[in-house]
């Protein structure tokens, strides 16, 4: 089966893709294109999946660069192909031939490009990273490499939607403790539960960072099991582990 990469209109000037789970070699609960080196999937299967993504993106496997993600606001500057994975949740580069690859399974994969300056970025933005500033930090790091904020286009890929993202009152309190107006990203749920709109919050944070354009490509990872892995869906099904989607961008 051919692997599938969703595109964002705003990033049409650069090579990119939000890859679904279709077309990979993993099996069982990981069936499809699991690119998660941190999963318990067979390492050779993951390597073969990542090689397919690299080929589709037009780079050798060593040039598909990733980071050790830990829900931070840290950004790594990548200046050469490497198998090392620095601890960070975003990457930026101005080097041609390097593909930045972010892993997600409900969190937001966000791809950035200033094609005029020749600077790209990629971020993993779950609620913690987004609230902590990973998106604005990515824009600032791109600016350090010569990008201009109003020339940057940013696209949020498949992530969990508000209808599927039930949270408790403590979660809500964390947000309004930082900014009371953040209450608008929550809707009332059952009893004391609320529904959080992660992609709308991501778009808000991108616009606050001053990017020229920002979009969500409008796919929910939780609700479409045939195309996407989902940490929350796996938890609800009491499965032992879950696959990771990859989203890539290169100059």
**Distance (Å, rounded) from C-alpha 188 to C-alpha 196?**
9
By the 8 A CB rule, do 91 and 72 touch?
Answer: no
Q: In sequence order, what are the residues at sequence separation of 6 or more whose Cβ sits closer than 8 angstroms to the Cβ of residue 20? A: 3, 4, 5, 6, 32, 33, 158, 227, 228, 245
Beta-carbon count within 10 A of 155 CB:
25
| pLDDT tens-place string over residues 18-52 | 999 999 999 999 999 999 999 999 999 999 999 99
Start-end of H helices in the chain: 43-57, 127-132, 134-144, 169-178, 198-208, 231-236
pLDDT tens track of the chain, all 251 residues?
799 999 999 999 999 999 999 999 999 999 999 999 999 999 999 999 999 999 999 999 999 999 999 999 999 999 999 989 999 999 999 999 999 999 999 999 999 999 999 999 999 999 999 999 999 999 999 999 999 999 999 999 999 999 999 999 999 999 999 999 999 999 999 999 999 999 999 999 999 999 999 999 999 999 999 999 999 999 999 999 999 999 999 99
The predicted model scores a pTM of 0.97
Return the domain boundaries, the chain. Answer: 5-160+214-250
**If you ran DSSP here, which 8-state letter would residue 76 be given?**
E
CATH architecture for residues 5-160+214-250? 4-Layer Sandwich (3.60)
Start-end of H helices in 29-133: 43-57, 127-132
**If you ran DSSP here, which 8-state letter would residue 149 be given?**
G
Extract the tokens encoding 54.
Answer: 């690299």
By the 8 A CB rule, do 134 and 75 touch?
Answer: yes
Pseudo-torsion of CA 107, 86, 59, 15, nearest 10°? Answer: 40
Q: In sequence order, what are the residues at sequence separation of 6 or more whose Cβ sits closer than 8 angstroms to the Cβ of residue 235? A: none
Q: Which pLDDT score, from 0 to 100, does residue 1 have?
A: 74
Measured CA to CA in angstroms, residue 164 lies from 121, 231, 246 at distances of: 28, 12, 21
């Amino acid at each position: 089966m051919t692997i599938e990469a969703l595109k964002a209109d705003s990033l049409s000037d650069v090579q990119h893709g939000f890859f679904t789970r279709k077309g990979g070699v993993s099996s069982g609960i990981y069936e499809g294109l699991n690119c998660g080196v941190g999963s318990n999937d067979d390492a050779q299967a993951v390597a073969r999946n990542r090689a397919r993504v690299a080929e589709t993106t037009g780079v050798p496997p060593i040039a598909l660069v990733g980071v050790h993600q830990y829900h931070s606001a840290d950004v790594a500057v990548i200046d050469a192909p490497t198998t090392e994975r620095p601890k960070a949740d975003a990457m930026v580069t101005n080097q041609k031939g390097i593909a930045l690859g972010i892993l997600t399974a409900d969190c937001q994969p966000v791809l950035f490009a200033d094609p005029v300056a020749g600077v790209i970025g990629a971020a993993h933005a779950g609620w913690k990273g987004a609230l902590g500033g990973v998106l604005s930090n990515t824009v600032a790091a791109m600016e350090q490499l010569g990008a201009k904020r109003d020339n940057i286009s940013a696209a949020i890929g498949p992530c969990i939607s508000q209808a599927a993202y039930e949270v408790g009152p403590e979660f809500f309190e964390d947000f309004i403790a930082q900014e009371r107006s953040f209450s608008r990203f929550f809707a009332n749920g059952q009893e004391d539960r609320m529904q959080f709109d992660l992609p709308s919050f991501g778009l808000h944070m991108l616009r606050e960072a001053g990017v020229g354009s920002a979009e969500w490509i409008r796919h929910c990872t939780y609700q479409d099991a045939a195309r996407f892995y989902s940490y929350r869906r796996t938890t609800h099904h009491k499965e032992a582990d879950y696959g990771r989607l990859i989203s890539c961008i290169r100059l």
